[in-house]
Amino acid sequence: MSVLSKIIADSASKSPWIYHINTGSCNGCDIELVAVLTPRYDAERFGFKLTGSPRHADIVVVSGPITTQSEERLKRTLEQVPEPKCVVSLGSCPQSGNVFKGSYSIEGPLEKYVHVDVTVAGCTPKPEAVIEGLYKAAGILKKKREAMKK
């Protein structure tokens, strides 16, 4: 491994980039995720940065039940995220559908489409729980990167 590759790998492990995808939520979880990134909770102090492209992401945060309209977009987005990646389920909707469960337009839990590494429960989850979930995801991501080196 070249020196430049080592520097890039070390810096990437300390600053995981987050890509957020809303698959049909009420926006409650989205608001909490944004609150976590603002100066009040300042998740950036732990190195978390929001990215606008799934191709640059390390951690994918999914909020909302998987709707018929968002199903294909979710699949395409997850395919674009490079390995190793970590998937975080934010709120109750991606897990169970919550109040939307049983609706004609709900296609099922997130687990049906991808392995979920971290689940942040709640409707809506508290910012502290979101930060804890992201921190756990960063730990899992680090282990996945180490496993890929072997």
18 pairs with which residues across the strands? 50, 59
Asked whether residue 4 is domain-assigned, the answer is no
Asked whether residue 6 is domain-assigned, the answer is no
Domain count, the chain: 1
Asked whether residue 1 is domain-assigned, the answer is no
Structure pTM?
A: 0.86
Supply 143's token pair: 């282990």
- Please, which pLDDT band fits residue 6 given cuts at 50, 70 and 90? low
CATH of the domain at 79: 3.40.50.12280
pLDDT tens, position by position, 55-95: 989 999 998 888 888 889 999 999 999 888 999 999 888 88
Asked whether residue 10 is domain-assigned, the answer is no
Q: What is the pLDDT of residue 119?
A: 92
Domain with 103, as residue range(s), is 15-149
Q: Which helix (H) or strand (E) holds 146?
A: helix 127-149
* Residue carrying structure tokens 């926006």: 27
Q: Taking a C-beta distance cutoff of 8 angstroms, is the pair 57, 19 a contact?
A: yes
pLDDT tens, position by position, 89-132: 998 888 887 777 778 878 878 888 889 999 998 888 999 999 99
Asked whether residue 3 is domain-assigned, the answer is no
Given a cut of 80, whether residue 47 has pLDDT beyond it is yes
Q: How far is CA 102 from CA 66, 93, 107, 109, 122, in A?
A: 12, 12, 9, 12, 19
Q: What is the pLDDT of residue 76?
A: 92
CA distance 26 to 30: 8
Asked whether residue 138 is domain-assigned, the answer is yes
CA distance 24 to 106: 9
Given a cut of 90, whether residue 19 has pLDDT beyond it is yes
Asked whether residue 58 is domain-assigned, the answer is yes
